[in-house]
Structures are given as structure tokens and as C-alpha cells.
Amino acid sequence: MMSTKAREALVERLLSRGTVDVVVRERLRERLLGDRPLRVKLGVDPTRPDIHLGHYVCFRKLREFQALGHQVVVIIGDWTARIGDPSGRSAQRPMLTAEEVQANAQTYLEQFFKVVDVSRAEIVWQSTWFGTFTLEDVIRLASKYTVAKLLTREDFAKRYEQGSPISITELLYPLLQAYDSVAIQADVEIGGTDQLFNLLVGRDIMREYGLEPQDVLTVPLLVGTDGTLKMSKSYGNYIAVNEPPTEMFGKIMSIPDHVLGDYLRLLTDLPDDEIDALLAGMANGSINPRDVKERLAVLIVSDLHSPEAAENAREYFHRVHRLRELPEEMPVVSVPPRTRVIELVVRAGFARSNNEARRLVAQGGVRLDGRRVEDPEEVVEITEPIVLQVGKRRFARLLPSPVPD
């Protein structure tokens, strides 16, 4: 049983660390400390099957709600995923088929439950209520909100001013998401800062249906490995939740120094004063940022895989990257005795085409037995096993295939 003091401290942490907007803060604090378990809603549009550390920020916040004894309710948007919500994009998102949504949702949930306790989570599909919605129901819902209010959303307003098309289905999206809160009688809804408008619409629609409006909590959008743009698969600056431990560890070690503060506060449970000391040490030169990244990587890999996997990944990183030793295990690829470099890269599975292999060579990312390759058209004579390295983490042992008689 959690003591009153510990409970108050966890509530304060939930409301302050790794949060941006809290509506309504004082009311939510009182409800979090109350005896009744709150229904904490997370809406998921499974438009893609993979989850990255940007989502992990939100999942960790849900885990804090669970630690206080509250109920997480995950709504799988099998209807809204087929409509599309721009959320800051400049164009309508492509619609998905029901089969694509189903497959993506299954993969999504497998990764989601690496972080959130499955025994204290309720999974609900939107089709439970929207599957029986009639045209009359849609019109009644639409009558409870105005186009003028919808056009105050930043991405809609921008496109409207530019004369870019906005479909009716897109305008309906926030209302459908809001009705989800009515259907499950949500007490709280959580999402990224790009979802704030939709979450607030949920409060308005709940009032229209005679319900107590949900409180709202948003979390920051995590900056990607490039240190500039938000983490996104589209930008190629993401770290996937289901990546192998060595890949995850290596990518975390590659993040720019200036994002370490955000990563430590959003992705770990280290106390704030300890994080402050680490950042101060980096600033005055007494702490090497590399050591801070290593600690961060160990914590994240331990949480998403296991402490043993994190230690193995750390040792692998030391061996391959710091000591420049080759990994103990690597794929073996049989290749012709005389082969162009770009063809070796493709045969090893490190590029999908010769053109992609050329780009890797041009970027200085291809080595043969430690020698950096400069000419993508270079023909390599392979008479004994050699090691192909692409980037920092991909290796293959190349063996000459027998020459046919």
C-alpha cells in the first residue's frame, strides 16, 4: 500500500515532469488523490505498425497513472484511422483498409504492452459504437460543434487561408475522437501536444452529452536523433521500441549532446536533481557526455528489453565502437571472387539497389577490412574472407564463392 506522502509525490511528478498542458490542473490533482479509479483514455490510430521513443514518452506517463491505481483505456481507432487526421500536416492523411488497421493494431499493442501493464489496461475498438452509427447519429453529433471552432485549429486554419482542400471527413475527425470520450465516459485523456485541440473538443462534446468533461494532459513531442525535428519514421530520425538491443543502444549513443536533458527527463526515472548534476558536469567539462549517453542507453534498453540485454548491448558497443573490434557474430555472405563494391553492399542486404549503395559509399560509410572505400565502382578481388562494414553497426563476412568449371 502506497503511503499518502509517496502518493502525493507521484501525483506531483505526473503533473509536472514530462507534461506540457494540464486542463484542469487542480481538479485533476484532487481526482488523482481520490479513492475512485479514473478512466484514463489514450486514443490510438494504428496508421503504422511501428512505435518509437516518442510514443514511449506517452506510455511512461500512462504507467504513472497505473501506479496510482487508475485504469488505462486504450481506444483502437479502427474508424478514424480510415479517415485520417493531419495533426499539423499540410495534406490529408491517406485512408487505410480495415485489414491494414487490424494488422497495425496488433503489432502496436504488442509493443505498447512492453511498457504499460496489460493487467490494468482495457482495450476497446471504436467499431463497438461507430459500427452501429446511423446517418442520424452523425448529423446529431455534427450539430453539437461549429465549423468556425474547427477552423481555429492551426493546421486547418493554415490550409483554409492558403486555399488548400480540407475534406469534410477531416473536419469530422475531432468530433469522432471526442465521441470516443463520451462512449467510454473518460475522466482523463492523454496525448502529444499536437493533439491538444482534439482533446479539448472532447471536453466540449462531453458537456453536450450531459457528462462531466474530461481532464486533459499532454506530453512533449520528443526530438529525434538529428537533434532538430520531432522523432518520426518519415524523417528517419527515430529509435523504434522493438529494435534489437544493440541497434537501440547504438542509436541512443549517437544522439546530439544538447538533447540529453530532454531524453533523461522524458525517458527515465532518474531524479531531477541527479539529472541537473549530470548536465552541470557536462557543461563544466567534468563529465563526458558519452558516459551520460551510455547511462541513458542502459536505462532505456533495460526497460524495453532487460537488464541483461542492456549489459550485452553495452559490451557490444564498447567492443565494436570504442575498441574498434569486430563483433563476434556476423552474417556470412558468399560472393563472386571479382565483384564491384556496390554489388557487395547489395548482396549483403545493406542496400536495396546499386544506387542506394553508391550513396552509402559517397557518404563514406562503406569499409572493407577497415579500409574506407572511395570508388563505388571499384572491383574487389576476393580470394579469402574479408569483412564488409556499412555505417557504424552493420557487418558481414564475405566469402569467395567457388568458380564454376
Beta-carbon contacts of residue 97 (< 8 Å; ≥ 6 apart)? 82
Q: How far is CA 12 from the centre of its chain?
A: 25
**CA-based nearest residue to 62, from 11, 115, 106:** 115
Task: Tell me the pLDDT tens digit for each residue of 211-224.
Answer: 999 999 999 999 99
190, 40 in Cβ contact below 8 A? Answer: yes
Per-residue model confidence (pLDDT) at position 361: 92
Q: With a cut of 50, say whether residue 90 has pLDDT above it.
A: no
Phi, psi of 382 (to 5 degrees): -115, 105
- More confidently predicted of 155 and 359: 359
C-alpha cell at 202: 472532447
| Burial class of residue 115, CB neighbours in 10 A (0-12, 13-18, 19+) | middle
The residue among 207, 246, 161, 202 whose CA lies nearest residue 43 is: 202
Closest CA to 263 of 87, 122, 52: 52
Query: Which helix H or strand E contains 211, and what residues bound it?
Result: none
Q: Going by C-beta distance under 8 Å and a sequence separation of 6 or more, which residues neighbour residue 89?
A: 155
DSSP reduced 3-state for 34: coil
User: Contact 348/332 with Cβ under 8 angstroms?
Assistant: no
- Summarised one tens digit per residue, pLDDT across range 318-330 is 877 766 667 878 8
d(CA 218, CA 41): 12
Burial of residue 378 (number of CB atoms within 10 Å: 0-12, 13-18, 19+): middle
Residue 70 has pLDDT above 60, yes or no: yes
Q: Judge whether residue 10 has pLDDT over 80.
A: yes
Kindly report the backbone phi and psi dihedral angles of residue 364, in degrees, each rounded to the nearest multiple of 5, phi listed first.
Answer: 75, 20
Least-confidence region, from 96-100, 106-110, 258-262: 96-100
- Specify the DSSP element, H or E, that contains 132: none
Map out the domains of the chain with their CATH numbers: 4-219 (3.40.50.620), 245-322 (1.10.240.10), 332-400 (3.10.290.10)
How far is C-alpha 343 from the geometric centre of its chain's CA atoms?
34
Q: How confident is the model at residue 88 (pLDDT cuts 50, 70, 90)?
A: very low
State the residue for C-alpha cell 490542473. 25
